[in-house]
Structure 1
Amino acid sequence: MTNKQKETTVIVGGGHAAGALLTTLLQKNYQQEVVLVGEEPHPPYQRPPLSKDYLAGEVDQASLYLKPCSVYENSGHQLRLGVRAKEIDRDNKTITLSDHGTLQYDRLVLATGSQVRRLNAPGADLKGIHYLHDIADSDALHEELVPGKRLVIVGGGYIGLEVAASAIKKGVHVTVLEAAERLMQRVTGPEISAFFYDKHRSAGVDVRLNTAVTGFEAGDQGHVAGVTLGEGSTIPADTVLVSIGIIPETALAEAAGLPCDDGIIVDEFTRTEDPAILAIGDCTQHRNLFFTNRQRLESVANAVDQARTAAATLMGEEKPYDSVPWFWSNQYDVRLQMVGLSQNHDQRVIRGSPLDKAFAVFYLRKGCVIAVDAINLPIAFMVGKALVRQHKKISPELLKDPDIELKSLVSSPQTSS
């Protein structure tokens, strides 16, 4: 009598989603062989510190790793690092790798993440123009953040502002150029945008809104020397960071014929159209029982939660993904915590005051709380998670009354008047 041969599960990707999935499978004592294919030479690691602590040199590279390499080695699972998955043959269930090798799979999980959105403008290929997506990018930018140098950041979103906060503390002269009329306009309301605008300005960052970038000027030896603006002027620069968003990495899936639409389309169990292939993380356009429509979310929380759902699916468990989305950003001494999606709100309620550096904005639609942004107010974030999940209808007067404990609103039957 022979033992049944183990099946092979291949994970393509080396980011937070891939690492969280592999870690969860280890915890669940997954009996199948697992092979993780990662294009970078590093084991799965967390990316948020790349624009904050790691960029500032306050933590080392090993601290980024989700697990020490020894954990994977001792588990019996394989890490194929520094290798790119080039092609998927769904009929034969094989993957062609960049080192000319092939892998056979029984189950495949695509955690391919994203790529940075690049700025197509004259001079965009000059030396000294950076994008921030991986450890190598952060290392290269770190080398140039020298006191007295001039850094120009194109883009006023999370990453750009986090880098601005890290750089200004190192004595770098920082200018942030944002094309929209306010910072972080895509993800938050005007009160939070105004708070961070004031915070960065008071720290010495030159923040310019409604400012379009049309190109870059060259200096000595092909190095960037300036950023050209739409109105014709030029801002001197020693270093430039372009941070204008990301694009889901779907090329591998598309070439294999999997349906994609601003992400690899998956259901609430992280399954693609092919029953043998799952997909998780930034690369997915996914079903979530919490939302009516498919969503693509760019967050660590989504990566981890989808990884847990994928692990359950691989183990034969039916556990649909229904997590409330949440996000965070650390800038200076400020911790921004966000839950829900504030788009399409029809009312905003402020609890506390921006002047106190601890306040929250509740976003309502038809009287129900759909999102909360909390500045140095973790209780508002925690309560907000419950209110958003419950689609709770709460009176604005109760939300902003400082004499009413936020915790009491979670179980309160009171609704809008």
Structure 2
Amino acid sequence: MAEKSFKYVILGGGVAAGYAAREFAKQGVKPGELAIISQEAVAPYERPALSKAYLFPESPARLPGFHVCVGSGGERQLVEWYAEKGIALILSTQIVKADLASRALISAAGETFKYQILIIATGSSVIKLTDFGVKGADAKNIFYLREIDDADKLVEAIKSKKNGKAVLVGGGYIGLELSAAMRLNNFDVTMVYPEPWCMPRLFTAGIAAFYEGFYANKGIKIVKGTVAVGFTADANGEVKEVKLKDGRVLEADIVVVGVGGRPLSVLFKGQLEEEKGGIKTDGFFKTSVPDVYAVGDVATFPLKLYNEMRRVEHVDHARKSAEQAVRAIFASEHGEPIDEYDYLPYFYSRAFSLSWQFYGDNVGEAVLFGDNNPASENAKFGSYWIQDGKVVGAFLEGGTPEENKAIAKVAKVQPPAGSLDQLAKEGLTFAAKI
């Protein structure tokens, strides 16, 4: 098979790849120097759309509407954009071997791609119930959501199982956003998760109580403290029932599973230093091998604000880490200095009429403020996290852009907290003063 050579190769075709390509273009990459190799059949797109607007019954989002970089207010990069910039977009191509010593990537079809500088932007893969040998987990109409193909299959099932029953396994991002989407499609929806409340990695019991109440008011049933241990299928092999560990059995026409992901770094095992489940990098996203960078979900990097190594799975970090790596590559080529990555952790979600943002770290003691009554017309509430007498994290539901900026500033500046009662009383006023 033919061998192709490029100065720069981005492996992966997700959000990070699209934002890296934009930064390459800004930095003046020459035609023919850069290639993006992606397993997907389409140019990089804003992945969060898949669990939100893509599934709306009215005016759903569709490509080319959400190609990068529209998610951050930038230009939409269609296939033509890459062609105009002289960037090779190598789609539907699976890389099965990475030989970092000889700077070569080998595809399933036997093609070899040589590079001088490699950016690993492979993201995460979803954890599947079949990985744990859950009985019947290979039945039809059991879905996972990671790529546009997954979303398309789910859309088809929603049409064919009109007004049916949907079971969401997992109480994190996917569980919360997809149960809302399924309810909007008029499905009878049940969410199942093992934890005592939803989104336990971020939410406190007080925050979760609002969302669980709000979802219950929308007609979504919530089953906590148990897991799916098996599925039964009908004569067509389509899922019919979900068996729970506590003995309950739920009817289901569609099951959507969201139980987490794992970084896709298997091609580099034993070739790159790893830490905390990801590929270890420095503040410029350089790995332990010269001229190899890792960005987004796969990178474990020094989080300057907290002086520790972290891996962050979120679209915001995917975008910003990709841009930082490309800037670092050009800075080193020109012998110029560049600041280390200084990231403020940021997470957000939208479902129904709700929209929350979180900045910083959810460690230490938490204090709740505002109106978190799920029955309120315009509920607006938030939380601060306090550690060592400083506010280190802030969460806000229903905030305006200015208010969201204010809580971001709080998390970055880490002001002294004063008393918890005082913080609860002041609420957003505290953030506005910083």
1:117 has 2:98 as partner: no
Give the C-alpha shift of residue 242 in structure 1.
Answer: 0.9
Give the C-alpha shift of residue 311 in structure 1.
Answer: 1.3
Name the residue aligned to 1:13. 12
Query: CA separation of 1:54/1:403 partners in 2, compared to 1, >3 Å: closer, same or farther?
Result: closer
Query: CA separation of 1:16/1:283 partners in 2, compared to 1, >3 Å: closer, same or farther?
Result: same
Name the residue aligned to 1:366. 388
Q: Could you report, residue by residue, the CA deviation over 1:73-108 in whole angstroms, capped at 9, with x for unpaired residues?
A: 000110100001222222221111222111111100
Name the residue aligned to 2:252. 237
SS at match of 2:303: coil
Paired AA for residue 395 in structure 2 = D
Say whether the 8 Å CA contact 2:276–2:310 is kept in structure 1.
no
In 2, the alpha carbon distance for the partners of 1:40 and 1:167 equals 25
Paired AA for residue 34 in structure 2 = V
Q: Counterparts in 2 of 1:256-405, with a 5 A limit?
A: 256-316=271-331, 317-342=337-362, 344-354=363-373, 355=376, 356-378=378-400, 379-395=402-418, 396=420, 399-401=423-425, 405=429
Give the C-alpha shift of residue 397 in structure 1.
Answer: 5.1
Paired AA for residue 91 in structure 1 = A
SS at match of 1:192: helix
Name the residue aligned to 1:196. 211
Give the C-alpha shift of residue 394 in structure 1.
Answer: 2.7
Paired AA for residue 236 in structure 2 = Q
Paired AA for residue 114 in structure 2 = Q
In 2, the alpha carbon distance for the partners of 1:10 and 1:397 equals 53
Give the C-alpha shift of residue 141 in structure 1.
Answer: 0.8
In 1, the alpha carbon distance for the partners of 2:272 and 2:417 equals 46
1:95 to 80, 87, 105: 105
In 2, the alpha carbon distance for the partners of 1:403 and 1:202 equals 26
Give the C-alpha shift of residue 366 in structure 1.
Answer: 2.0
Query: CA separation of 1:239/1:353 partners in 2, compared to 1, >3 Å: closer, same or farther?
Result: closer
1:44 has 2:44 as partner: yes
Paired AA for residue 300 in structure 1 = V
392-401 vs 293-302, which deviates more?
A: 392-401
In 1, the alpha carbon distance for the partners of 2:191 and 2:205 equals 18
In 2, the alpha carbon distance for the partners of 1:253 and 1:319 equals 27
Name the residue aligned to 2:196. 181
Q: Counterparts in 2 of 1:214-225, with a 5 A limit?
A: 214-225=229-240
SS at match of 1:82: coil
Name the residue aligned to 2:170. 155
In 1, the alpha carbon distance for the partners of 2:21 and 2:62 equals 23
Give the C-alpha shift of residue 319 in structure 1.
Answer: 2.5
In 2, the alpha carbon distance for the partners of 1:312 and 1:26 equals 11
Name the residue aligned to 2:65. 63
Q: Could you report, residue by residue, the CA deviation over 1:41-80 in whole angstroms, capped at 9, with x for unpaired residues?
A: 0111111110110122511121121111111000011010
Name the residue aligned to 1:415. none
Give the C-alpha shift of residue 253 in structure 1.
Answer: 1.7
Say whether the 8 Å CA contact 1:351–1:402 is kept in structure 2.
no
Structure 2 alignment gaps of length 5 or more: 69-76, 332-336
Paired AA for residue 87 in structure 1 = K
Say whether the 8 Å CA contact 1:212–1:229 is kept in structure 2.
yes
Say whether the 8 Å CA contact 1:151–1:173 is kept in structure 2.
yes
TM score, norm. by length of structure 2? 0.89
In 1, the alpha carbon distance for the partners of 2:289 and 2:428 equals 51
Say whether the 8 Å CA contact 2:273–2:288 is kept in structure 1.
yes
Paired AA for residue 28 in structure 1 = Q
Say whether the 8 Å CA contact 1:55–1:139 is kept in structure 2.
no
Query: CA separation of 1:75/1:139 partners in 2, compared to 1, >3 Å: closer, same or farther?
Result: same
Paired AA for residue 21 in structure 2 = L
In 2, the alpha carbon distance for the partners of 1:191 and 1:402 equals 18
In 1, the alpha carbon distance for the partners of 2:366 and 2:206 equals 13
SS at match of 2:101: coil
Paired AA for residue 116 in structure 1 = V
Give the C-alpha shift of residue 180 in structure 1.
Answer: 0.5
Give the C-alpha shift of residue 402 in structure 1.
Answer: 5.0
1:86 has 2:96 as partner: yes
In 2, the alpha carbon distance for the partners of 1:368 and 1:352 equals 24
Give the C-alpha shift of residue 359 in structure 1.
Answer: 1.2
Give the C-alpha shift of residue 275 in structure 1.
Answer: 1.7
Query: CA separation of 1:320/1:142 partners in 2, compared to 1, >3 Å: closer, same or farther?
Result: same
Q: Identical aligned pairs, as a percentage?
A: 26
Say whether the 8 Å CA contact 1:266–1:286 is kept in structure 2.
yes
In 2, the alpha carbon distance for the partners of 1:368 and 1:26 equals 41
TM score, norm. by length of structure 1? 0.92
Structure 1 alignment gaps of length 5 or more: 1-5, 411-417
Give the C-alpha shift of residue 233 in structure 1.
Answer: 2.2
Say whether the 8 Å CA contact 2:13–2:39 is kept in structure 1.
yes
Say whether the 8 Å CA contact 2:50–2:148 is kept in structure 1.
yes
